[in-house]
Structure 1
Amino acid sequence: MSYTFQFGVLAQYQDEILSGIWLTIKLSILSIVLGSAAGVMLASLRSIKGGAVRYLVDAYVEVIRNTPFLVQLFIVYFGLPGLGIRVGADTAALIGMTINLAAYSTEIIRAGIEAVHKSQIEAGEALGFSRFQIYRHVILVPAVAKVYPALCSQFVLMMLASSICSAISTHELAASAAFVESQTYRSFEVYIVVTLIYLALALALRAALAFIGMWLFGRRVARRTMTALPEVPA
């Protein structure tokens, strides 16, 4: 049986596809900014504070890392209205992506913090740095630099995982593709194009993150960022 590809039929749905691309980019950027900021804060709290705070952060990380992202989205989108909190699909997607990414970022940054040698902290104390200066310049910045490629891989994975948000009616790229496919019945063409778009988005995001890494930490970190492969979450 022969099959004739007809990519031309997708041209009339370019606005639909571009709208999905834009929402995917917007959700990805916002979740990366919010999730990484939350990750730094939680990892810092875990390393500075002990007792209940540390256990609460550890519990949050373990719960998020060991449950499906789809279930987390359903809890936000379908569960919160039961508590009287109603959020739209796009907002629920952003909340879910941020919560998920924050947990993974916390664990990655924690590993970086624990990799800082004690002698570096002692050197900072010998130079008369305050506790805040030691934590910021001697611990946190070198820790983030060490794990920056791993963080970037997680950011790319989160961007790709945004396709799951179509399950709660978020009209991002995957949902746009499903709509176009339902209108044209050209599954091969639609999903080949969408695959190439996701690939382009992932490569563009990795290049942008490498540029940011070069600006913040130097060329070595930027090269490691470009060559690091995304790791599938455990």
Structure 2
Amino acid sequence: MSYELNFSALLEYQDILVAGLWMTVKLTVITTLLGILLGILGAAARRHRNPLLQYGAKAYVELIRNTPFIVQLFFIFFGLPAIGIKLNEIEAGMLALTINLGAYLTEIIRAGIDGTPKGQVEAARTLGLSNRQIFTRIILPPAFQRVYSSIVSQCIIVMLGSAVLSQISVQELTFAANFIQSRNFLSIESYLVAALLYLMLAFLMRFIFNRMGAWAFSRKEKHV
């Protein structure tokens, strides 16, 4: 049985595809920034002397890492309105992605922090630095550098996971592909184009992250 690909039929839907791609890019940028910030705060909480912060952060990480992302998304979008917290599909999607990414980055960044030599911390205390100064200036920068590649990989995974948001009608790339194939029934072409666009985004994200990391870490070394 032969099948001839017909990509030309997708041209009339190119605006929908571009809009879906742009929505995926916006979701990725926003949730990546917020997720990294949440991961840093979570890692700081895991290392804090206050047991309430420690166990609270640990419970958050275990809850998110051991439950399916789609369940987390449905809980936020369908569950929270039952207690009066109403979010539209984009807000719910961004919140779910941010919380999910933050949990994984908490553990990744914490692993980087655990690799910090104790002598550096003791030397910083000897110089009279506050705990916050020690964390932000002595501990966090080298820890972030040690696990940077893992952070990049996790951000890309979350970008790919944004496809699940189509289940709550967020009009991102997968939603666009679903819509197009429901109109022209060209499933292979629609999803193949979507897959290639996700692949392009993944390579682009890794390239941008690597360039940013190379610039930031080389600049840091020059100031050492």
Q: Identify the TM-score tier after normalising by the shorter chain.
A: over 0.9
**Alpha-carbon deviations, 1:51-100, whole Å to 9, x = none?**
12101100000000000000000000000110111111111100100010
1:20-35, aligned counterparts within 5 Å? 20-35=20-35
1:64-213, aligned counterparts within 5 Å? 64-213=64-213
Alpha-carbon distance between aligned partners in 2 of 1:24 and 1:107, rounded to the nearest angstrom? 25
Q: Which residue is 2:222 aligned to? A: none
SS in 1 for 2:67: coil
Where do 4+ consecutive residues of structure 1 move more than 6 Å? Answer: none
Tell me the matched-pair count: 219
How far is the alpha carbon of 1:49 from its aligned partner?
3.0
RMSD (Å), alpha carbons: 1.3
Q: Which residue is 1:56 aligned to? A: 56
How far is the alpha carbon of 1:214 from its aligned partner?
1.3
The 10-residue stretch of structure 1 (131-140 or 18-27) with the greater mean CA deviation from structure 2: 131-140
The 10-residue stretch of structure 1 (55-64 or 118-127) with the greater mean CA deviation from structure 2: 118-127
1:4-19, aligned counterparts within 5 Å? 4-19=4-19
* TM-score normalised by L of structure 1: 0.90
List alignment gaps of at least 5 residues for structure 2.
Answer: 220-224
How far is the alpha carbon of 1:28 from its aligned partner?
0.7
SS in 2 for 1:48: coil
Cα–Cα, structure 1 residues 36 and 82, in superposed 2: closer, same or farther, change >3 Å?
same
SS in 1 for 2:87: coil
Which amino acid letter does the alignment assign opposite residue 54 of structure 2?
R
**Alpha-carbon deviations, 1:172-214, whole Å to 9, x = none?**
0001000000011111111111111000000001111111111
Alpha-carbon distance between aligned partners in 1 of 2:131 and 2:74, rounded to the nearest angstrom? 42
How far is the alpha carbon of 1:135 from its aligned partner?
1.8
The 10-residue stretch of structure 1 (137-146 or 123-132) with the greater mean CA deviation from structure 2: 123-132
Alpha-carbon distance between aligned partners in 2 of 1:177 and 1:55, rounded to the nearest angstrom? 42
Alpha-carbon distance between aligned partners in 2 of 1:130 and 1:89, rounded to the nearest angstrom? 42
Alpha-carbon distance between aligned partners in 2 of 1:57 and 1:75, rounded to the nearest angstrom? 20
Which amino acid letter does the alignment assign opposite residue 203 of structure 1?
F
Alpha-carbon distance between aligned partners in 1 of 2:131 and 2:40, rounded to the nearest angstrom? 17
Alpha-carbon distance between aligned partners in 1 of 2:218 and 2:20, rounded to the nearest angstrom? 34
Which amino acid letter does the alignment assign opposite residue 27 of structure 2?
L
How far is the alpha carbon of 1:128 from its aligned partner?
4.1
List alignment gaps of at least 5 residues for structure 1.
Answer: 220-234
Alpha-carbon distance between aligned partners in 1 of 2:174 and 2:218, rounded to the nearest angstrom? 35
User: Percent identity among equivalent residues?
Assistant: 44
Alpha-carbon distance between aligned partners in 1 of 2:153 and 2:218, rounded to the nearest angstrom? 18
Alpha-carbon distance between aligned partners in 1 of 2:55 and 2:215, rounded to the nearest angstrom? 35
Which amino acid letter does the alignment assign opposite residue 146 of structure 2?
K
**Alpha-carbon deviations, 1:113-149, whole Å to 9, x = none?**
1110101112223444333322222111111111111
Alpha-carbon distance between aligned partners in 2 of 1:130 and 1:171, rounded to the nearest angstrom? 47
SS in 2 for 1:85: coil
